[in-house]
Amino acid sequence: MTIQYILEILGTGFFSISGALAANDKAKPDWFGASFIGFITSIGGGSLRDILLGSYPLVWIHDTNFMYAIFIGVILASVFFKILIRLRKTFFLFDTFGIAMFTIVGTEKALSLGVHPMIAAIMGMFSAVMGGVIRDVLTNEIPIIFKKEIYATACLAGAILYLVLNYIGCERNANFLLSALLIIVIRIIAVRRNLSLPKFTKE
């Protein structure tokens, strides 16, 4: 078990917590509904990436540790619900670490399958954000990443940095850390200063 593997499992569990909590805000689901949405939020991005790339088997189907992490996440979300909603700031940090890690892991995976770097960057970003998009569609909301302070674009920026450093021969672990750090820094600045991308049109 590498450190990265442990982080991926933790990230998956965390995403299921945040998915269940977000679902609860919007749809007032029962236990099954919250667990289901937590599950989809966790595995949606990576699954979509792998389906688009034709890369089978999907990680969570192959390795049940991901399922255990999701179950534990959903149970924690319900049991500690009141505490967790008071910890929104801590959550922001977890989410930021999560999307940074999933972006780089996804970019690497796509690259290892031989796709063009531009496609690899998009797949890295998809890994991080598409679970949330599916969660928003299921709870009947317009996906928040279409409007929110710089989020998916931070992932894209990190993926592009990874590709550039990879191209010039940067050592892999250093590259992973630097690229993830860029995503984290952009997110923190964007949230602190309430930065958004410009609207598509001015009207």
The residues binding its own copies (CB under 8 A) are 20, 23-24, 27-34, 36-37, 47, 51-54, 56-58, 60-61, 64, 67, 77-78, 81, 115-116, 118-119, 133, 137-143, 145-147, 152-153, 196-201, 203
Q: How far is the CB of 31 from its own copies (least distance, A)?
A: 5
Q: CB nearer to its own copies: give 47 or 176.
A: 47
CB of 72 to its own copies, least distance (A): 14
> CA 111 → CA 7, 98, 138, distances in Å?
20, 20, 30
Minimum Å gap between C-beta 34 and its own copies is: 4
2 class by beta-carbon count within 10 Å (0-12 exposed, 13-18 middle, 19+ buried): exposed
Q: Using an 8 Å Cβ cutoff, are 38 and 78 in contact?
A: no
* Rounded least distance, CB 168 to its own copies, Å: 21
Which residue, 154 or 161, is less far from its own copies as judged by CB? Answer: 154
Q: How far is CA 177 from the centre of its chain?
A: 16
